[in-house]
A = this chain, B = another copy of it.
Amino acid sequence: MNWSRNDGPRGYHHGNLKEALIRAALELIAKKGPGGFTFAEAARFAGVSPAAPYRHFRDRDELLADVARRGFEAFAAALERAWDGGRPAPFAAFERLGRAYLAFARSEPAYYSAMFETGLPVEMSPELQAAGDRAFAVIRTAAERLIADMPAGRRPPALMMALHIWSMSHGIASLFARGDAGRRALPMSPEELLEAGVLVYLQGLGVSAASDRDRGK
């Protein structure tokens, strides 16, 4: 008689409890933060007994790690879509990348929390680490592409550049673009703030929109 989460009755076996638990975790994290998520409540949410989740995840952390992994994968995909190989012009694509970063943090706060605010060791699972690396690689690749045409002598280290961009993006996302409540008021949107910050930063590196125009775009 347990009409769990959605459609149709179910028998003794749920059918797809693992997926249901992950969706439950996402809703709970979104609602009450990454700390206020409990194994038992996810089970209740999925309409099964508190012990059922243990058949699918060793413990709470393993579930969270799986959520984080999926988050990083979706994140990497979103960033890749935005960057789109740097087409039609790297500089414009880079701005899209920044907007995509904030858009993800805002539209998927649960994933974002699981990815960055759980305090899980990254080395917890190789898959988690790999997914995180892939997301970061998008930013790094974009940075490399942006500076590719600069004279070698004035070309900044791409890794450092990617770390700076990432840090500023994450900082803005954490401080200003999260949730609906609890954060400081801004004179501009987080997107505008990030775009301006990245622009200034690139200017400081000597990378400029001129490179797009040089390319005939």
- A-side residues, CB < 8 A to B, are 33-36, 116-117, 119-122, 132, 136, 156, 159-160, 163-164, 166-172, 174-176, 179, 181-184, 186-188, 193, 196-197, 199-205
The complex is assembled from copies of this chain, and their number is 2
Shortest Cβ distance from residue A38 to the other chain B in the assembled complex, whole angstroms: 11
Which of B174, B193, B199, B204 interacts with A171 by CB under 8 Å? Answer: B174
Q: CA–CA, A184 to B199, complex, Å?
A: 26
Q: Are A122 and B183 CB-contacts (below 8 A) given A167-B193, A196-B164? A: yes
Which of B159, B164, B174, B175 interacts with A200 by CB under 8 Å? Answer: B164
Q: CA–CA, A202 to B193, complex, Å?
A: 16
Residues of B within 8 A of A193 (CB): 160, 163-164, 167
The 6 A-B pairs of least Cβ separation, nearest first, read A35-B35, A204-B204, A171-B171, A167-B171, A203-B204, A200-B204
Residues of B within 8 A of A120 (CB): 182
14 more CB-based (< 8 A) A-B contacts, given A167-B193, A171-B172, A202-B204: A119-B179, A120-B182, A121-B182, A122-B184, A159-B187, A160-B187, A160-B188, A163-B186, A163-B193, A164-B196, A167-B171, A170-B174, A199-B204, A200-B204
Shortest Cβ distance from residue A62 to the other chain B in the assembled complex, whole angstroms: 16
Q: Tell whether, in the assembled complex, residue A167 and residue B175 are in contact, meaning their CB atoms are under 8 Å apart.
A: yes
Nearest B residue to A197 via CB reads B164
Residues of B within 8 A of A205 (CB): 200, 203-204
Which of B33, B121, B160, B174 interacts with A181 by CB under 8 Å? Answer: B121
Residues of B within 8 A of A170 (CB): 171, 174-175
Q: Tell whether, in the assembled complex, residue B187 and residue A197 are in contact, meaning their CB atoms are under 8 Å apart.
A: no
Residues of B within 8 A of A132 (CB): 184
Give 25 CB contacts A-B under 8 Å.
A33-B35, A33-B119, A116-B175, A119-B182, A122-B182, A122-B184, A136-B184, A159-B187, A160-B187, A160-B188, A163-B193, A164-B197, A164-B200, A167-B175, A168-B168, A168-B197, A170-B175, A171-B171, A174-B174, A197-B201, A200-B201, A200-B205, A203-B203, A203-B205, A204-B205
